[in-house]
Structure 1
Amino acid sequence: MSVTIKQIIDTLPSSPVELESTVDQLLYGNENDEVSEIAVTFMANQEVLEQAVQLGIRFIISHEGLYYSHHQAYPLPEDSDILYEREQFIKKHGLAIYRYHDHCHRHQPDLITRGLVNKLDWQKHISLETAVATIVQVPPTPLQAIITAVKDKLQLPYIRFRGEQSKPCRNIGVLVGYRGNGASLIPLIAKHQLDAVIIGEGMEWEAPEYIRDAAALGSPCGIIVLGHAESELPGIDLIGEMLQQALPQLQVHHLKAQPIYTIG
C-alpha cells in the first residue's frame, strides 16, 4: 500500500515547541505523490542518490543538506558545475528529497543522540540529557575497553582518541555531530567532572587542546572522536525504525555511503 509523501513527513517525530526557523523542508518533489518505498540517510550525497535510483526509491529523507552547507542553496551553473550536475541528476530521476535535521535534534530526547546511546547499549545508564549532550554513568571501565567496545558496536575501522588508556571511566559525555566544539564541551567536562567524552567532530584547537592541557595539569579526561557521520548514523537507524513501526505498509531503507576518509 502506498502513502503520500506528506503523510510520511507528518509522521516524522517533531520538536515539542514550534521552531521559529528551520532547515527542515521538502527540497524536491511533490508532497502529494504516493510512494511505497522510502530511504533515510545521513546525507544524500551522489553515492546515496545513485543507490536510491538503482533500488527504484523515489523519496529520500536526508539529515544533512545537499549542497555542502547547513542552509539550503539552490545551485546555479556559474556557482559550480558539480552542484548544478547534482541538481540535474535529482530532477532527471524524479527524486523527492526531504531535509530532516532540526526537528529530530529538537525532539525530546534528541533522536540522533539517543540512537548513538542505544547503539552503545547505554540507555539504562543515562543520568542526564540536555539539548546538546547526554551523560551516562557506567561501571568503571578502562578507556581502552570503551574504545574497543565503541569500535565493535559501531563497526568502525578506526577511532581517534586521546587519554590514558588504563584510566577507569564512569561519567561519560556523548555529543553527536558538530557539538564537539569548545563552547559545548568544555563547560560540560568541568561541571560534571567527566572521565571521557565521545564526540562526532569539532575544532581540533578547542576542546582537544583543553583536554590535553587538563591532563598536564592533573585533571585527565579521555576523548574519543568518531567523525560526524559515524556519530549520527545510529540516530538515522532509529528514525528509520520509528518510521517503519508507524507506517508498516512502507518499506524503509537506510542508505549509507562509504566513510569519507580512508587511513594509510
Structure 2
Amino acid sequence: MSTSKNLFLLSQDTNRRKFICNLTKVAGATALLTAPAIGRAGSFLDINTDLTVGDIMDLFINQVPGGPLSSTVDTLKAGSRDIKVTGIVTTMFATIEVIKKTIALGANFIIAHEPTFYNHADETSWLADDEVYQYKANLLKQHNIAVWRNHDYIHRLNPDGVRMGLLKQLNWLSYYNSDAGSILMLPATSLSSLIGYLKQKLTINKVRYIGSPEQSCKKILLMPGAAGGTRQIQAMSKEKPDVLICGEIQEWETAEYVRDAQSKGEKLSLIVLGHIASEEPGSEFMATWLHEKVPGIKTTHIPANNSLSFL
C-alpha cells in the first residue's frame, strides 16, 4: 500500500472542510428552489403542529421532480399515514434490531431505503405462514410503528440524495460535477491507497476488488447500490474510468467484464464496497434533511450495518 498517497488524500479533508460545508448547503438549497409544487413557505412544517406520517412523506415527495410518482415501491410497509409522529428513525433496512431500537427511543416512524420484507416490492402473501415475517410484522403492529420506504424518491432528487450522502462521507463533494454524472476526477493515487481510504471512511473491514494494487487511479466511476451489470458495463465502456467503485455486482457479469478488459490490456479496476456500505450514507442524508425541515421532531439515524461477516 502506498502510504504517502493515502495520506495525501486524507490531508485534503481539513483543507476542504469549509468548502465542502458550503457546497453541501448550496446543493440542498438548489434542490429546494428547483423543486416543483412547493415554494419558500412550503419548505418547512410548523414545528408546533402535530405532524403525521403522511405530512412528512408529502413534504419530501413534493420536492422531488416528477413527484408524486404514479408507480413506485416507496409505499408504507407498516402503519398508516394518520399516525402522529413521536420520533423518526432513518436507516437502510428496517431490521428487527432497528425496530427494537426505535421502540426504545420512543419513536414510531421508520424511513428505510430498502425493502422491509425481503423482496423489492415487499409482497408478503408468500410469507403469510413464515414465523420470521409474522414476528416482525406483529412487532410493528403492536407498537404502532409506520415504515415508509424512501428509495425511488431520494434517488430522484436533483442531485441524487444517496450519492450526495456518500460523497459527503468520503469528503469528495468538492470533486462532484453534476455535468459529469457518476464520474469523479481525484488526485492520482494507487488502487491500494484508494481501497484503504474507502475502508477507513466507510468503516469497512474488507472489500472485494480486481486490479493491480499499484495501478494509478484518477478517473473514478462511482455507482453506489446495485445498478446492475448492464448499466455498470455500459458506463465503463463509455467513460473509460481507471476504476469502478460500486455497491454490489452480479459476479458473472461485471466482474467477468473487468477481468476480460484487463486481459485485453486495459487498465480498468473494480472495487466492490457492498450494497449497505455504499448507500447507508443516503439514510444519513435523509436524517440531516429531517433535522432541517422538521426540527420539532427528534430524528435518529440507526445504521443497519452489514448483514454479512468476513473471516
Interval containing the TM-score (normalised by the shorter chain):
over 0.9
Q: Report the equivalent of 1:4.
A: 52
Does the CA-based 8 Å contact 2:229-2:254 persist in structure 1?
A: yes
Which residue identity does 1:43 align to in structure 2? F
2:222 match: secondary structure: strand
Pair 1:42 & 2:92 matched: yes
Q: Percent identity?
A: 32
Structure 1 residue 253, shift from structure 2 partner:
0.5
Q: Report the equivalent of 1:194.
A: 241
Does the CA-based 8 Å contact 1:113-1:176 persist in structure 2?
A: yes
Over aligned residues, Cα RMSD in angstroms?
1.8
Which residue identity does 2:143 align to in structure 1? H
Alignment of 1:1-264 (within 5 A): 2-12=50-60, 14-18=63-67, 19-75=69-125, 78-128=128-178, 134-179=182-227, 181-264=228-311
Does the CA-based 8 Å contact 1:211-1:220 persist in structure 2?
A: no
Q: Which structure dedicates a bigger proportion of its chain to helix?
A: 2
Distance 2:265 2:287 in 1: 44
Distance 1:234 1:77 in 2: 30
Which runs of 5 or more residues in structure 2 are unaligned? 1-47
Deviates more, 1:22-31 or 1:193-202: 22-31
Does the CA-based 8 Å contact 2:191-2:214 persist in structure 1?
A: yes
Does the CA-based 8 Å contact 2:83-2:146 persist in structure 1?
A: no
Structure 1 residue 36, shift from structure 2 partner:
3.4
Distance 1:34 1:171 in 2: 47
1:40 match: secondary structure: strand
2:92 match: secondary structure: strand
Does the CA-based 8 Å contact 1:129-1:135 persist in structure 2?
A: no
Structure 1 segments (4+ residues) deviating >6 Å? none
Distance 2:214 2:87 in 1: 47
Distance 2:177 2:52 in 1: 39
Does the CA-based 8 Å contact 1:76-1:84 persist in structure 2?
A: no
Structure 1 residue 81, shift from structure 2 partner:
2.1
Which residue identity does 1:25 align to in structure 2? T
Structure 1 residue 68, shift from structure 2 partner:
0.4
Structure 1 residue 168, shift from structure 2 partner:
1.1
Change (3 A) 1:195 1:98: same
Does the CA-based 8 Å contact 2:92-2:276 persist in structure 1?
A: yes
2:65 match: secondary structure: coil
TM-score of the two chains, using structure 1 as the length reference? 0.92
1:35 match: secondary structure: coil
After superposition, the C-alpha distances for 1:80-125 in whole angstroms (9 at most, x for unaligned) are 2221221111111211111111111122211112211221111121
Q: How many residues align?
A: 261
Structure 1 residue 78, shift from structure 2 partner:
4.5
Change (3 A) 1:35 1:68: same
Distance 2:97 2:178 in 1: 37
